[in-house]
Structure 1
């Protein structure tokens, strides 16, 4: 089986192209073994989460970005199923409200960052500000940015500044102990069509579908270009992107879990060592308990 971490990692973007990443890759894994493989991965992640919480030195921020229907919700549900909810928080970002629009575009995302010792999962993220706003630049006008009164005022320099702000934001977080994993669930247009039809044809899935999803689908090429530019401008060795094949949900979950596990292993998480004075108190407490 192939090295998942290296197979899908994007840190050097000199020759990056989304076309080089298949949406149906399985890296040699088999569907019949998927449940067992995923279960073992989840158990290992859970053990490391306990060490992360106990050491209280790092935090882990996991970002999910994808086109509608790519399976972000199910990937989060399955790969995070073994985590202790006390040490994990999930935020799903919708369109910004009036208070959020009265601040800079990173403000609401900064407020949702995980504390030390915790895992934060962002279902969509600050990248929406260079994705959906790139495809629909009229949304930028709602931010009341000085000098931008109409779409024609949004020049290439504007996007360059946004990418730079994102890079600086992530560099700052990394320098202060937050490890960032960025997943793009790479879905084919054909598979999205199948999943949309399943949502329409299955009554209990109707709630997942909105007609706006079809309207956004018509801008598929624009979104792929926006993703390509965002990944190219913001991938780095410290904050890499991972292009995860999303046509086969069972493998998406394995790939995401494997990368989370390998990232946490590299954090070299250790349980805190008690000072000698505290160790002596433990011995005293043990002696008292054993005499009862």
Structure 2
């Protein structure tokens, strides 16, 4: 358990970015460059992040042993916001046998022949496991909303494609998350809030550095042209689906070290509240363990 000053400090840093009531949420109120006045060099940030990752590894083992809960962590962001590197650094000490990272690409013909949540629901983590969605079902209210021509591929009956489509999809998502929560799934949603200025800087770094050219795609520039449309879509999604049970964390993404620390702190705080513990062996098993110990001792 996180107690005393440690727990209070984590909550103090996480609270400004946690959204549990979306009605009054405005993206413009959240500064992508915010660091809450923290100043530290890379080595200090890395050391603090390592401590959080080690703690997560211990909690993961108890989550697996207890076997009645799971954790679903979603990452959404514009290109170059640092989703991949955040997952890499925050989850660096997690046992890969108990964690699944799923990156959702363009849907296949089979996936398009089902409802929009079908391919995502199949990857919700089993009890005892941590699941990470690198992009998620929210893409169905983001990229599909910005590029409505994509709806044609989903072959919806015409009467269900109307002005309320996006509100209805967001309401459906909120109900899915409410359902998963009641099944023991802890749902944590992160929007890495990057500024267009910082995105431009990172794009240029990818273009100028041959070792980073592989990270760049011409589609990145094409999507950048729709920045305002995407920000509107994100704002609407967070407003409609933020809840106490499945909160959004709007994390400043202009400073990668700060992004990673806040994401780690939010996950640590949320999992700590599950009050995980190793299961206590029943009496019969304890007797069997004692007998096994006695037999091994007798060999000496």
Per the normalisation by structure 2, the TM-score is: 0.94
Report the 3-state secondary structure (helix = DSSP H, G, I; strand = E; otherwise coil) of the residue aligned with 1:60. Answer: strand
| Residue pairs, 1:47-196, within 5 angstroms | 47-147=58-158, 154-196=161-203
Structure 1 position 31, deviation (Å) = 2.9
Aligned to 2:238: 231
Structure 1 position 14, deviation (Å) = 2.6
Residue 242 (structure 1) aligned with residue 249 (structure 2): yes
Aligned to 1:222: 229
Residue 10 (structure 1) aligned with residue 19 (structure 2): yes
Structure 1 position 36, deviation (Å) = 1.1
Aligned partner (choices 27, 34, 51) of residue 45 of structure 2:
34
Structure 1 position 160, deviation (Å) = 1.7
Structure 1 position 27, deviation (Å) = 2.5
Aligned partner (choices 250, 263, 266) of residue 270 of structure 2:
263
1:65, 1:72 within 8 Å by CA — same for their partners in 2?
yes
Structure 1 position 220, deviation (Å) = 0.4
Residue 24 (structure 1) aligned with residue 28 (structure 2): no
Structure 1 position 156, deviation (Å) = 2.3
CA distance in 1, matches of 2:137, 2:77: 13
After TM superposition, where is structure 1 displaced by more than 2 Å over at least 4 residues in a row? 27-31, 153-156
Structure 1 residues 28 and 284 mapped into 2: Cα distance closer, same or farther (>3 Å)? farther
CA distance in 2, matches of 1:231, 1:141: 25
Report the 3-state secondary structure (helix = DSSP H, G, I; strand = E; otherwise coil) of the residue aligned with 2:75. Answer: strand
Structure 1 stretches of 5 or more lacking a match? none
Aligned partner (choices 215, 219, 224) of residue 212 of structure 1:
219
1:31, 1:250 within 8 Å by CA — same for their partners in 2?
no
Structure 1 position 290, deviation (Å) = 1.3
Report the 3-state secondary structure (helix = DSSP H, G, I; strand = E; otherwise coil) of the residue aligned with 2:158. Answer: coil
Structure 1 position 288, deviation (Å) = 1.1
1:31, 1:251 within 8 Å by CA — same for their partners in 2?
no
Report the 3-state secondary structure (helix = DSSP H, G, I; strand = E; otherwise coil) of the residue aligned with 1:31. Answer: coil
Structure 2 stretches of 5 or more lacking a match? 1-8
Report the 3-state secondary structure (helix = DSSP H, G, I; strand = E; otherwise coil) of the residue aligned with 1:12. Answer: coil
Count how many residue pairs are aligned between Structure 1 and Structure 2: 288
Structure 1 position 30, deviation (Å) = 2.7
Deviations 1:164-223 (A, max 9, x none): 110111111000010000000000000000000000001111111111111110110000
- Per mean C-alpha deviation after superposition, the further-off stretch among 60-69 and 281-290 is 281-290
1:65, 1:123 within 8 Å by CA — same for their partners in 2?
yes
Aligned partner (choices 269, 284, 288) of residue 291 of structure 2:
284
Deviations 1:247-292 (A, max 9, x none): 0001111111111111110011111111111111111111111121
